[in-house]
Amino acid sequence: MCESEPTDTDHWQARVDLAAAFQWTARLDMHEGVANHFSLSISADNSKFLMNPNQKHFSRIRASDLIVIDSHDRDTLRREHAPDPTAWGLHRGLHSHCTHARCVMHVHPIYSTVLASLADSRLPPIDQNCATFFNRYVIDEDYGGLAFEDEGKRCAKLLDENEKNILIMGNHGIVVLGETVATTFNRLYYFERAAKTYILALQTGKSLRIMSDDLAEKTAQELEGYPEQDIRHFTEIKTILSKEGSDFDE
């Protein structure tokens, strides 16, 4: 099932939040033109989820534009408002096989993608943002081409088996999972910031100041317990968009 016209009460707040994430991601230049995709589960079993329509620029996506995907409907790609085939493959696989994949964000932001392009794609804890993700990501070393169904299942298995929320997709980009749009976007935002710090540090050619494992883990746990930072960050984003007259909530 793939729907294009929601009712006013059809998971409206979920739609508004996801649309805000699309527009802000474009604002930060973390998008890939009319490619890449976000999704948000709207059913208890993860089988139905909201997703961006095929080939629409992130900066123009509104709440009412989001389509509803039913992962049990094998005719989805033959319907009039079908999603991008790679979005179907990747997000269907993640929502189907990762119980913690309520919200999924897949993008190719420049610094995270540079990290994913290195032979060693680890993110060492050289600052507080980098330490946030210490032992909290998995690296995909076996890129298999565009994320059609088999590739989507393979990526989902990596995240599920390792119980992680971030997949550094070697030769590709990143996938970020979360329980809510706010949590997932916040995780995406700070991962890209961390990757930027690391890549720029490498460019200096100087020795890196790397935290000990114990300190990095302590810092990560402290940041995980920081109260409502993700909610407040995302609320501010929606407030800015609203004050600027954005149509994200239409």
Considering the domain boundaries, does residue 248 fall inside one? no
Considering the domain boundaries, does residue 250 fall inside one? no
Considering the domain boundaries, does residue 174 fall inside one? yes
Residue 237 belongs to domain with CATH number:
3.40.225.10
Look at residue 3 in the predicted model and tell me its pLDDT. 45
Considering the domain boundaries, does residue 136 fall inside one? yes
Look at residue 78 in the predicted model and tell me its pLDDT. 85
The token duo for 45 is 């079993």
Considering the domain boundaries, does residue 249 fall inside one? no
Considering the domain boundaries, does residue 41 fall inside one? yes
Q: Report how far apart, in Å, the C-alpha atoms of 210 and of each of 26, 168, 198, 217 are.
A: 32, 20, 11, 13
Look at residue 193 in the predicted model and tell me its pLDDT. 98
What span, in angstroms and rounded, lies between the C-alpha atoms of 22 and 99? 23
CA–CA–CA angle 199, 18, 195 (5° rounding): 5
For the chain, the domain total comes to 1
Question: Mean pLDDT of successive 10-residue segments in the chain (250 residues)?
Answer: 49 97 97 94 95 96 96 86 89 91 96 98 98 97 78 87 92 96 98 98 98 98 92 98 98
Q: Which domain holds residue 164?
A: 2-243
| Residues with Cβ within 8 Å of residue 49, at least 6 apart in sequence | 39, 40, 41, 42, 43, 68, 69, 71, 91, 95, 104
Look at residue 64 in the predicted model and tell me its pLDDT. 96
Look at residue 144 in the predicted model and tell me its pLDDT. 78
Size (the chain), residues: 250
Look at residue 147 in the predicted model and tell me its pLDDT. 63
Question: Quick check: 103 and 85 in contact, CB under 8 A?
Answer: no
pTM of the prediction?
Answer: 0.93
